[in-house]
Structure 1
Amino acid sequence: MKTIGILTSGGDAPGMNAAIRSVVRTSIYNGVKIMGIKQGYNGLLNGEIEEMNLSSVADIIHRGGTMLLSARCDEFKTEEGLNKALNIIEVFGIDGLVILGGDGTFRGAQKLCDAGIQVVCIPCTIDNDMGYTDYTIGFMTAVETAVDAIGKIRDTSASHGRANIVEVMGRGCGDIALYSGIAGGAESIIVPEVEFNIDEVCKKVIQGKNRGKLHHIIALAEGIGDAYEVAEKIEEKTGTETRVTILGHIQRGGSPTVFDRILASKMGNKAVELLLNGKSGRALGIRCNNIMDVDLDEALNTEKNFDIDLYNIGMILSI
């Protein structure tokens, strides 16, 4: 293993830069050349590759986004695109790849692995929707961003006696809504994994109002449907003015939390260690606070289990 390549693909996540820094510096420490691939798989196909050094990753551990940039690449999904990628890897003398991203990124890495390239993947996605690992890089930062927003929205909501739906990211996974809802003291949490009853939400709004509560915060995952439609129903049934705040891509940006910086640093170091030991087709994760690695097939096929116990705690605490 003389040369390692690194790329980031799919949606960016806070902590990606910390992982890049860890991979680059661990490689250099071990006497291995490290090549940065810009624009994800698209950049791989176009040969947007340059050698990185210690200075390349200076002053980035605290920055959100990805210094290597990211892009979608439909061409890579074709047989012709894969062959082109394999040729580029050979031309640049890359012996192994560290690939950062989510489910779709991992599937692309699996194709390279099946074609004989040594690959190790690091999970970076704010949705925390990969079932084989307790947490993905970027998730905790997104939750902190959502909690900060909920606190500010509560202030203005209470000033006007309103209910407010805060829509967070998570199409098929409600973890951001669950964690931020509990940490932010939301009165209702609506996620795709649990069927919700609009009348139960409205009952909480009315009961809170009757005991003098001036606000009602509802944390809602984007995968649940139209937040404005939910707000309209709440307003119709309760007579309480209900506003909607969609946080959107603000959740993807910002300086990563301490948790994400340390998680990324550990995983980046471990990724290089695995490649140096001849391992391939591995996906890094964290379970019970221990960094571990599993086969890529397992990572891609492990069902995500929603923490229903935590959800029930949220229901109890929001009475």
Structure 2
Amino acid sequence: MQRIALLTSGGDSPGMNACIRAVARKAIYHGMEVIGINRGFNGFIEGDMGPMNLSSVADIIHRGGTILHTARSEQFLTPEGRARAYENVKRFGVQGLVVIGGDGSFRGASVFSREFGLPVIGVPGTIDNDIPGTEQTIGFDTAINTVLEAIDKIRDTATSHERTFIIEVMGRRNGSIALASGLAGGAESILIPEQPFDYEDICQRLLRGFRRGKAHSIIVVAEGASGGMEVGQRIKERTGFDTKVTILGHLQRGGSPSAADRLLASRLGAKSVELLMAGETRKMAGVKAGQVVGVDIDEALNESRPVDLSLYDLAGVLSI
């Protein structure tokens, strides 16, 4: 294989740039040419792509976001859009493709590979940590540390003003961010989409704390479980406590990637090139039992990636 291309797709996550760097430098080290595709599958369709060299990826390992930019592409969902993308495969002489993104990006890449025979390797980059077949995704560690920093700062204000704070975090279908950050931040309650919750139980927990002299509380809510504003209003109605709501939003996507995410991105990016060199296709570079391995994309996406409910149970025990 002499020339590969890479793109980032879907929501950005801290560590994508470190992965871009690893893919490009690993490929160049082995004598390959690298084509960077801008704006995800949209750029692939429009031919917004060009050569990358060692200088293209200098000084980016510490930067959040993605230098290749990212976008969601409705066109790539159509046969016509994918056919236009394949014209650019031929135009640029691309012999393999690395896609850094989430499950939607992988599904599109897998269909494209089957239609046109182009070897495709995925690298899981999403803060939600919801990709089956890998123990961790690029960006998750940084995101939960961003949330944890916010929890710690909000706790200072909650303590000073003797208030209950509701912190809404990302996670429409998956509560991993809420669960990990809530447990690490000592939240009194954690609400996630995977577990039903009862307002009466939450309020009784708050009232028990108040009776023993606890003047403040933190509740972490995944956006897919309930809106933070609604949770705050219902708790206030039931308890009379002064509640404040903080919605962290896209703050969780940004920032310099953590050391863990830089290491993960570097390992997975390098593995994606190794998989292409070995003649593999429709595989994902993932982590299993601490080892970087190739995982069949279609098999992985037919599975589910549940949250670790033992952490949920532990959080309940520790927040008595």
TM-score (norm 2): 0.98
**Deviation of the 1:131 alpha carbon:** 2.3
Confirm whether residue 84 of structure 1 aligns to residue 88 of structure 2.
no
Corresponding residue number in structure 2 for 1:285: 286
- Paired with 1:124 and 1:247, the residues of 2 have a C-alpha distance of 20
- Paired with 1:179 and 1:50, the residues of 2 have a C-alpha distance of 39
Large movers: runs of 4+ above 2 Å: none
- Paired with 1:276 and 1:224, the residues of 2 have a C-alpha distance of 43
Corresponding residue number in structure 2 for 1:3: 3
**Deviation of the 1:268 alpha carbon:** 0.6
Does the 8 A contact of 1:170 with 1:223 survive in 2? yes
**Deviation of the 1:208 alpha carbon:** 1.1
- Paired with 1:306 and 1:268, the residues of 2 have a C-alpha distance of 25
- Paired with 1:224 and 1:245, the residues of 2 have a C-alpha distance of 15
Does the 8 A contact of 1:159 with 1:214 survive in 2? no
- Paired with 1:303 and 1:46, the residues of 2 have a C-alpha distance of 33
- SS in structure 2 opposite 1:224? coil
Corresponding residue number in structure 2 for 1:129: 130
- Paired with 1:180 and 1:190, the residues of 2 have a C-alpha distance of 12
Residue type of the alignment partner of 1:186? A
Corresponding residue number in structure 2 for 1:254: 255
Corresponding residue number in structure 2 for 1:59: 59
**Deviation of the 1:213 alpha carbon:** 1.3
- SS in structure 2 opposite 1:137? coil
- SS in structure 2 opposite 1:223? coil
Does the 8 A contact of 1:39 with 1:70 survive in 2? yes
Corresponding residue number in structure 1 for 2:47: 47
- SS in structure 1 opposite 2:251? helix
- Paired with 2:79 and 2:113, the residues of 1 have a C-alpha distance of 14
Q: Which deviates the most, 188-197 or 130-139?
A: 130-139
Q: Could you give the per-residue CA deviations for residues 290-316 of structure 1, whole angstroms, max 9, x where no partner exists?
A: 111111111211111221111111111
- Paired with 2:209 and 2:288, the residues of 1 have a C-alpha distance of 38
Q: Tell me, which stretches of 5 or more residues in structure 2 are unaligned?
A: none
**Deviation of the 1:225 alpha carbon:** 2.1
- Paired with 2:226 and 2:178, the residues of 1 have a C-alpha distance of 14
Does the 8 A contact of 2:168 with 2:227 survive in 1? no
RMSD: 0.8
Q: Tell me, which stretches of 5 or more residues in structure 1 are unaligned?
A: none
**Deviation of the 1:226 alpha carbon:** 2.1
Residue type of the alignment partner of 2:223? E
TM-score (norm 1): 0.99
Report the count of equivalent residues.
319
Corresponding residue number in structure 2 for 1:18: 18
Task: Output aligned runs, 1:1-319, within 5 Å.
Answer: 1-115=1-115, 116-319=117-320
Does the 8 A contact of 1:130 with 1:302 survive in 2? no
**Deviation of the 1:233 alpha carbon:** 1.1
- Paired with 1:226 and 1:140, the residues of 2 have a C-alpha distance of 24
Does the 8 A contact of 1:37 with 1:49 survive in 2? yes
**Deviation of the 1:272 alpha carbon:** 0.4
- SS in structure 2 opposite 1:61? coil
